[in-house]
Structures are given as C-alpha cells and as structure tokens.
C-alpha cells in the first residue's frame, strides 16, 4: 500500500515526510494503523548523529542506518495479520514496545524483557523476523525503521514481538506514550532505582522521561523529590508530577539537598537529561549519600567513553552507578499495568503532552523539544478518508 512517513536520509538533515510503499506483513508480523507517535529525544539522537554508528562499524555489522523512518513511541489498531501470528487479530488495539520481547531468550525467560536478545537489532532497521524491509521509498530503496517499529508513519509493519495488546477502552493517543517515555521514566525510578517509601530522590533533566521518573518516585513513596532542570519552565510542571523541590543545576541543588537531609544526602538519583554526558556523572553522584544509587537513563553519544567519577567515593561510600534501558521493565507486564493505573487515576498521562503536530510539522515539533517548550510533543495522524 501507499502511505506517508517521516524519513531521515542522513544525519544532520531534517525529517523528510514522503509517500512510501508498505508491504503486507509476512510471517510473524502485523500491520498497524497508528494513531500518532511521541517525539522522544532518542529519535533526535539519530538526527544529530549521536546514535549513529561509525561507517566502518556499520559495514562490519552489515547494516546501513540510513535512510530510516523514525519513531518508537506509538499505538494503534491492527489492520492486517501475517501468517503464523497467534494471539493478535484485526481490530486489536496495541502499544508498540520500543524493544521487542521474544519471550524465549535468556533475558525474556528470566523476567528481563527490556533486555531481550532481539534488542541487538534496534538500530539495524530491518524486520526482526527475517531481516528484510517492508518499508520502501518512492524510488524503491529499502527504508530502515527506528527500534524495529518506525512509528513516524500513518501505518507500519513490525514483528508481533514488538506489539502489546491493550484494552479497547484506553485512548490510543495516551497509550502511545507508554511505548517508551512513561515506562522508561517510571521504571527508572521504581525498578532501576528501587525507590522506597520515605526516600529522598533526585531527578536530573525533567523532560518526557524525567517527569515520569518523578511520578514513578512519588508512587513508590519517596518523601522528598528534587527535580533539577536548567530550563526553569519545567520546574512548576515537575511539581505537578510530584516534585517537592526544584533547582536549576546539580551544583545549585547540592547545598539544598545537604540541608534537606541533614547532611545524609539523597538515597537515589536518576539522570534523564537530553544528551547524556560524562561530565554530569560526578556532580550527580555527589548528591547521593552512603549506599546511594545513581541511575543513568539518558542516551549519550555512541562513542562517548569519558566519565568524571570519584573512584574513592564510589568505594568508600559504597555508591552505585547503574544504567537502565526501557525502565528495566517487562513491557508485556508493565505496559498494561501502567495503563490500568492511568484509568484508575493514579498515573498522569493527559498532562504529559504539551502540544500535538501534524506529520508534516514534525520538524517544528522537534525544534520545540530542543527549545525546551514541551514535556512531550506528539505527531497525530490524519486518517480521514483512509
């Protein structure tokens, strides 16, 4: 079929909205009519080159990251089911998880679906079923799809491993947000940081991921939540999600946290700034006390290896520094659970979307994100007449 999608032809160029050809789903795949897609910072990492492997590495792995359809935070309705798909049928409402979960690999089998072995193909751009493409440009080139799903298009085809069925009474535009940002932020607090009742938690970077880390920490029972963002516009909103205190930098937060905790410092810190940087690690580690844990959720440039870290404090204060992907969650369990919490009124989703855009305006949406105007921007698809 013919449809439209936002393609990145190479790094440091704008998203190009074009007509594409989408093949029917093959074995183990489904076609989804998408409602819209969240504008997560991770797609911008593709555009800036932060998430692009050097050409020699791509050649060694036998992949080409461009051209690629972006987007990895979507939901929609199944419109076609390929051979061999079980448990999904036309008309089902689904969230697309940004990491597939095969259910069979060692990680899936031990309750770590966010670390599914199929995650190895997140940036490879092809279907995880047979490593070929269903998306093609007008001139016949195979197109990659971000995170094996490519939600910056009105329709997509992906493996059933990326698809989580949800109840039909959940609004699809809200459900889309749980495909990445909500689960990642909420899980960074509840699973990766293991926030416990009464703790003091710091969240550095209060965008689409950080706001969800704040509400995750609040739900887990944190007593004090210090939201830190260089953009002061985010401070009031952070309080809406559960922050008890705000600061404009990690340096500014240090004396505040020292006073708030009588010198004990925070129990947990979660880093969710837009572009991960080794520079901020030590300053954030200084905000946590003995036995404290710092979770690094931000994505840094792919070749970044330099970190500022006091090894002395790491050992003597027995601090922990851990990474986290997809909130260390199990998407098949946590996505329906988070949506239940939304329906019960305990999880905020309506408040996350600052502004919606048409697919044609996707570059405007990303500029708004870079300018700090949005918690989450979202492109919504116009299926009128489709």
Is residue 181 a contact partner of residue 210, using CB atoms and an 8 Å limit?
Answer: no
Binding partner of 102, given ligand NAD, Zn ion, none, CB within 5-8 angstroms per partner class: Zn ion
Angle at 143 between CA 140 and CA 145, to 5 degrees: 160
**Residue-level length of the chain:** 386
Site residues (CB under 6 A) for ligand NAD, limited to 51-90: none
Which stretches of the chain are DSSP H helices? 41-48, 55-61, 106-109, 172-176, 181-187, 208-219, 233-241, 250-260, 279-285, 311-316, 331-343, 362-370
| Given 326, 357, 366, 381, the residue binding ligand NAD (CB under 6 A) | 326
Counting contacts by CB under 6 A, is residue 208 touching ligand NAD?
Answer: yes
Q: Which is nearer to ligand NAD, 114 or 127 (CB)?
A: 114
Q: Which is nearer to ligand NAD, 20 or 203 (CB)?
A: 203
DSSP 66-78: -SEE----EEEEE
Binding mask 1-40 for ligand NAD (x = CB under 6 A): ---------------------------------------x
| Given 28, 82, 97, 205, the residue binding ligand NAD (CB under 6 A) | 205
| Region from 5-13, 20-28, 208-216, 356-364 binding ligand NAD, contact rule CB under 6 A | 208-216
| Region from 155-163, 219-227, 267-275, 342-350 binding ligand NAD, contact rule CB under 6 A | 267-275
Output the smallest distance, CB 66 to ligand NAD, in A.
Answer: 18
Contacts of 82 (CB under 8 A, 6+ apart): 24, 25, 26, 27, 28, 29, 30
Query: How far apart, in whole angstroms, are the C-alpha atoms of residue 176 and residue 108?
Result: 22
Cα-based distances in Å from 332 to 164, 280, 347 = 6, 33, 18
Query: How far apart, in whole angstroms, are the C-alpha atoms of residue 71 and residue 125?
Result: 12
Counting contacts by CB under 6 A, is residue 274 touching ligand NAD?
Answer: yes
| Given 37, 184, 246, 330, the residue binding ligand NAD (CB under 6 A) | 184
Q: Which is nearer to Zn ion, 48 or 248 (CB)?
A: 48
List residues bridging with 171 in a β-sheet. none
Counting contacts by CB under 6 A, is residue 119 touching ligand NAD?
Answer: no
Positions in the binding site for Zn ion (CB under 5 A): 40, 42, 102, 105, 108, 116, 180
Binding partner of 234, given ligand NAD, Zn ion, none, CB within 5-8 angstroms per partner class: ligand NAD
Number of residues forming the site for ligand NAD (CB under 6 A): 32
Counting contacts by CB under 6 A, is residue 228 touching ligand NAD?
Answer: yes
Specify the residue for token string 């708030």: 260
Q: Which is nearer to ligand NAD, 144 or 327 (CB)?
A: 327
Output the smallest distance, CB 208 to Zn ion, in A.
Answer: 8
Q: Which is nearer to ligand NAD, 127 or 297 (CB)?
A: 297
Cα-based distances in Å from 2 to 58, 123, 138, 321 = 29, 24, 9, 47
| Given 4, 41, 174, 293, the residue binding ligand NAD (CB under 6 A) | 41
Specify the residue for token string 């789903």: 25
Binding partner of 280, given ligand NAD, Zn ion, none, CB within 5-8 angstroms per partner class: ligand NAD
Query: How far apart, in whole angstroms, are the C-alpha atoms of residue 140 and residue 327?
Result: 37
Binding partner of 187, given ligand NAD, Zn ion, none, CB within 5-8 angstroms per partner class: none
Query: How far apart, in whole angstroms, are the C-alpha atoms of residue 194 and residue 172?
Result: 29
Q: Measuring CA to CA, which residue among 136, 177, 171, 141 is closest to residue 156?
A: 136
Output the smallest distance, CB 172 to Zn ion, in A.
Answer: 18
For residue 308, the SS3 value is coil
Site residues, ligand NAD (CB under 6 A): 40-42, 45, 180, 184, 204-210, 228-231, 234, 272-276, 280, 297-299, 324-326, 369, 372
């Amino acid at each position: 079929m013919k449809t439209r999608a936002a393609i990145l032809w190479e790094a440091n160029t704008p998203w190009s909205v074009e007509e594409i050809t989408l093949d029917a789903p093959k074995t183990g795949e489904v076609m989804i009519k998408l409602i819209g897609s969240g504008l997560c910072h991770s797609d911008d990492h593709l555009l800036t080159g932060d998430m692009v492997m050097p050409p020699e590495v791509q050649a060694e792995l036998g992949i080409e990251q461009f051209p690629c359809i972006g987007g990895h935070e979507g939901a929609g309705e199944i419109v076609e089911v390929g051979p061999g798909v079980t448990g999904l049928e036309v008309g089902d409402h689904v969230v697309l998880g940004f990491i597939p979960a095969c259910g069979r690999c060692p990680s899936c089998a031990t309750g770590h679906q966010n670390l599914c072995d199929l995650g190895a193909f997140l940036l490879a751009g092809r279907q995880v079923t047979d490593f070929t493409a269903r998306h093609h440009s007008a001139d016949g080139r195979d197109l990659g799809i971000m995170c094996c799903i490519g939600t910056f298009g009105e329709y997509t085809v992906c493996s059933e491993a990326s698809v989580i069925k949800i109840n039909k009474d959940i609004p699809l535009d809200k459900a889309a947000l749980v495909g990445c940002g909500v689960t990642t932020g909420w899980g960074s607090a509840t699973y990766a940081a293991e926030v416990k009742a009464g703790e003091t938690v710091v969240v550095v970077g209060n965008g689409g991921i950080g706001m969800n880390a704040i509400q995750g920490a609040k739900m887990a029972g944190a007593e004090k939540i210090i939201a830190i963002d260089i953009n002061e516009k985010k401070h009031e909103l952070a309080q809406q999600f559960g922050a008890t205190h705000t600061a404009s930098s990690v340096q500014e937060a240090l004396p505040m946290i020292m006073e708030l905790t009588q010198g004990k410092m925070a129990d947990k810190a979660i880093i969710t700034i837009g572009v991960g940087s080794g520079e901020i690690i030590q300053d954030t580690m200084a905000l946590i006390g003995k036995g404290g844990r710092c979770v690094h959720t931000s994505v840094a440039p792919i070749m970044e290896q330099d970190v500022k870290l006091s090894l002395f404090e790491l050992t003597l204060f027995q601090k922990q520094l851990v990474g986290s992907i997809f909130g260390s969650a199990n998407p098949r369990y946590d996505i329906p659970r988070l949506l239940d919490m939304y329906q019960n009124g305990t999880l905020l989703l309506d408040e996350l979307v600052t502004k919606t855009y048409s697919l044609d305006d996707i570059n405007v949406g990303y500029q708004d994100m870079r300018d700090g105007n949005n918690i989450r921007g979202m492109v919504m698809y116009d299926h009128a007449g489709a």
